[in-house]
Structure 1
Amino acid sequence: MMSNLFSIFDPSTNLFNLSLNWLSTFIGLLFLPYPFWFLPNRHFIFWNFIINKLHNEFKTLLGINSFNGSTFIFISLFSFIFFNNFLGLFPYIFTSTSHLTISLTISLTLWLSFMIFGWINYTQHMFIHLIPQSTPTILMPFMVLIETISNIIRPGTLAVRLTANMIAGHLLLTLLSSSNNSIPNYLLFILILIQILLLTLESAVAIIQSYVISILTTLYSSEIN
């Protein structure tokens, strides 16, 4: 039962001996040509509104010392995770963000980039971050240790947060759908209603998680400068 349940997250499923599941990551690209190559429409205007709001918020979080265009990194991160989370709700589409292979690769790459850039260009500023202001002298070694550990585990917490939230909702939907044959007919309508509500919740989670990951990544970047 458990192997069948978790088989929906199995990336080794193949067709003609080719692992095609990971190609679902690029399905989001199919949405891009339409608004950019045709006249502006409601889809384009709505997405442009979201990007402008995200740009203003990321610009505020990064501060006045940020580089021009740096917000587009986090807007791209939001768009990538959002498309993959949302497309994973459709039947027979593999959810790549439910695997640490994708989420840990993204978070670890960004975190390493921030750390290398910060320690090379703002070494003194990075050392200052290890000791909060007004810390007693006797507690400074412990604070350096705690801050170092909390900084090291950041990419892991980002990846696990995204992966766990994606897996949890899909597992609930799979568990409910697998119990269709074992319940009376009069409870079937209640089960369908619960599944619709869960699917709505998963749609909200897909948006919220992409927003949370991009916001946290922006905050980590803002600490460098």
Structure 2
Amino acid sequence: MMTNLFSVFDPSSNLFNLSLNWMSTFVGFIIIPPMFWLIPSRFHIIWNSILLTLHKEFKTLLGPTGHNGSTFIFISLFSMIVFNNFMGLFPYIFTSTSHMAMCLALALPLWLSFMIYGWINHTQHMFAHLVPQGTPAVLMPFMVCIETISNIIRPGTLAVRLTANMIAGHLLLTLMGNTGPSLSLILASFLVIGQIALLVLESAVAIIQSYVFAVLSTLYSSEVN
């Protein structure tokens, strides 16, 4: 029985006091590798074309000053998030990306590493970022405060954006599904159609949010070079 509206997202399934819900994050290590046994398989061709497109886009965002191979960090990040998002669309599988702990664990180390690298190697450039070009002298102290705060809250906004978008659709699907047994046959058929439409929407959200997370991380990285 649910104690509150969000208790459906609590990682409560356990065996020998080990949380089993988080195990869905690691299922990919079992499922995905056999798909590459037949090369070039259809899955391999499609996924390779997606990764090549992402590589070109991230390379453009990083610019000529970006380090070689740095796009693979963000491609791996995109792959991990999109896999976990899609795993959550299956019944009885816990969505790890709907928890702040998981999303912050992805966003905070990335942002922290960008900041440490930027302030150590490009200190003058980082100071210049605190005052946008063309700012009047009177507003400079305020702009420094605003830019500093906006920079500090970046990992939080990244994590909250992903968490909120993943939890909202799943919550709506759960609430609509719980009303099914009390509805008549005609209303239940409309409910099934609505659930399918929501599931398609959630599939799109799973891809879009992982893409947004990876692109914003790339943009934050490009600012420190």
Asked whether the equivalents of residues 2 and 8 of structure 2 are also in contact (C-alpha less than 8 Å), the reply is no
Runs of 4+ in structure 1 off by over 3 angstroms are: none
1:196 and 2:196 are equivalent in the alignment:
yes
Structure 2 residue aligned with 1:90: 90
Which deviations, in whole Å up to 9, do the C-alpha atoms of 1:54-86 show, x marking residues without a partner?
A: 000000000001111000000000000000000
Q: Deviations over 1:157-184 (max 9, x none)?
A: 0000000011100100000000012222
- Please list, as runs of the form range in 1=range in 2, the aligned pairs for 1:37-52 lying within 5 A after superposition: 37-52=37-52
For 2:71, the equivalent position in structure 1 comes to 71
**Mapped partners of 1:40, 1:218: distance in 2:** 29
Match of 1:157 in 2: 157
Deviates more, 1:183-192 or 1:68-77: 183-192
How far, CA to CA, are the matches of 1:120 and 1:161 in structure 2?
29
1:22-37 aligned within 5 A: 22-37=22-37
For 1:73, the aligned partner's letter is I
Task: Give the gaps of 5 or more residues in structure 1.
Answer: none
Q: Distance in 1 between matches of 2:3 and 2:49?
A: 43
Contiguous gaps of at least 5 residues in structure 2: none
Q: Which amino acid in the other structure matches residue 81 of structure 2?
A: I
- Whether the 8 Å contact between 1:5 and 1:174 is mirrored in structure 2 is no
Percent identity over paired residues: 70
Corresponding residue number in structure 2 for 1:219: 219
Name the counterpart of 1:20: 20
Asked if residue 173 in structure 1 is aligned to residue 178 in structure 2, the reply is no
Taking structure 1 as the reference length, the TM-score comes to 0.96
Given that residues 55 and 71 in structure 2 are in contact (C-alpha distance below 8 angstroms), is that contact kept between their aligned partners in structure 1?
A: yes
Q: Deviations over 1:133-174 (max 9, x none)?
A: 010000000000000000000000000000001110010000
**CA shift at 1:4, angstroms?**
5.7
1:17-46 Cα deviation digits (max 9, x unpaired) = 321211111112234312433321111000
TM-score, normalized by length of structure 2?
A: 0.96
Does the 8 A contact of 2:118 with 2:126 survive in 1?
yes
Q: Distance in 1 between matches of 2:40 and 2:57?
A: 24
Alignment-mate amino acid for residue 108 of structure 2: L
Q: 1:126 is aligned with what amino acid?
A: M
The superposition leaves residues 70-117 of structure 1 with CA deviations (integer Å, 9 ceiling, x where unpaired) of: 000000000000000001100111100000110011100100000000
Task: Give the equivalent residue in structure 1 for 2:119.
Answer: 119
Aligned residue in 2 for 1:7: 7
Task: Indicate the SS of the match to 2:40.
Answer: coil
CA contact (8 A) 1:54 1:75 kept: yes
What secondary structure does 1:3 align onto?
coil
Matched residue, 2:148: 148
Equivalent residues, number: 225
Q: Structure 1: how far apart are the matches of 2:196 and 2:182?
A: 19
